[in-house]
Amino acid sequence: MGTSGGWQPADPVAGRQFADLGPMGLELGGWLPGVRVAYETWGEFTGNNAVLVQHALTGDAHAAGPTGPGQPTAGWWDPLIGPGKAIDTRRWFVLSSNVLGGCQGTTGPSSLAPDGKAYGSRWPRITIRDQVAVEVALADALGIEHFTAVMGGSMGGMRTLEWIVAHPNRVGTALVMATGAAATADQIATQNVQIDVIKADPNWQGGDYYGTGRAPFNGMGIARRIAHLTYRTERELAARFGRDHQLGEDALASGRFAVQSYLEHQSDKLCRRFDPGTYVSLSDAMSLHDVYRGRGLGALRAVEVPTRVVGVPSDRLYPLYLQQQIADEIGVDLDVVESPFGHDGFLLEDEAIGAVVADLLAPTATPC
């Protein structure tokens, strides 16, 4: 493992495509001299059949398809995207891009600045709105004037909200899942504890660890374990692990409990494919999320894009009342998906979420 677990230009390209979008100003006053976006597509674009799917914090552009060289994870929404699936690629052209600040081919902290060195500590602070500005520029570059649907959960749900508030004329319908209109104190606290853990790792080196042979993977691994506990539920962990000791170990004799091994496995997987600098940047962007900023509390009440809002009652990171608030302000009913998996329910409840997605797209006239 190098000093970034993310994708590097020397790695196999896999299904990635790239768009160079030029320089970009940022919401908080920063500036990037050039932005490259990695994206993937499925289906054939006919001019009026585009669907944008939005990944969450540690996701990427690979929304569908298998693992392979240069692609360590299977598509995060693979059960829903493809021929005959909820988002039928015989009918729809599906676009998914890695967000600004990401580490799977899009410009981020591990990318090379014009001086040939990684941005590292020079990486500017970014917001969800900056990420959406990049997505709008990508759509322009690809000749997509209008999306039949934009959909996403968690951080992807934040970007979906920004699309329907800031660019309503470019969105036909939307699906917002497991997110809130603005980051809460609890979410900001949880995210900043994770950021602090990464920065407390001596290998953080002020953010300039790239190329040094030492990276703060220990800190990011702990951050991932903290996060994963917010993604799942006490009920699920109790049912799966209880107080069991890890197989072949004795927790009374310096061994581990099974749940410890599970969390370590989750952190090890992330460290093999993700960059700590990206984790810090995107977590901060999520804390800054506020759809009302500069727009007033009527921002969602003014939304005219037909929108479905989905929440999971067991979600302890983005509690159901946050989705109810969004639904109430937009003026729609809330879709409730029962799941023992908490926040991750929007990724794991394929049948229930797939039914909502299929229903969302069903009223749309079949593209010619």
Given the residues 97, 154, 283, 314, select the one marked as catalytic.
154
Instruction: Residue 217: name the closest of 272, 260, 263, 265 by CA.
Output: 272
- The whole-angstrom separation of Cα 198 and Cα 9 is 25
List phi, psi (to 5°) of 367: -60, 145
CA terminus-to-terminus distance, the chain: 48
Angle, nearest 10°, between helix axes 276-288 and 185-200? 160
Helix 128-142 vs helix 276-288: crossing angle, to nearest 10: 100
Angle at 320 between CA 317 and CA 323, to 5 degrees: 100
Cα–Cα distance, 76 to 9 (Å, whole number) = 22
Give the separation between CA 322 and CA 315, rounded to whole angstroms: 10
Those residues whose C-beta lies under 8 Å from the C-beta of residue 248, and which sit 6 or more positions away, are: none
Angle between helix 128-142 and helix 155-166 axes, rounded to 10 deg? 70
Choice among 275, 315, 335, 344 that is catalytic? 315
The DSSP symbol for 28 reads T
Q: Does the annotation count 289 as an active-site position? A: no
Residue 315 catalytic?
yes
Pairing, β 93-97 against β 36-42:
antiparallel
Point out the catalytic residue in the list 275, 283, 343, 344: 343
122 vs 110: CA distance, rounded Å: 10
State the residue for tokens 């570059």: 141
245 catalytic residue (yes or no): no
Cα–Cα nearest to 220, from 231, 232, 238, 207: 207
Which residues are the active-site residues? 154, 315, 343
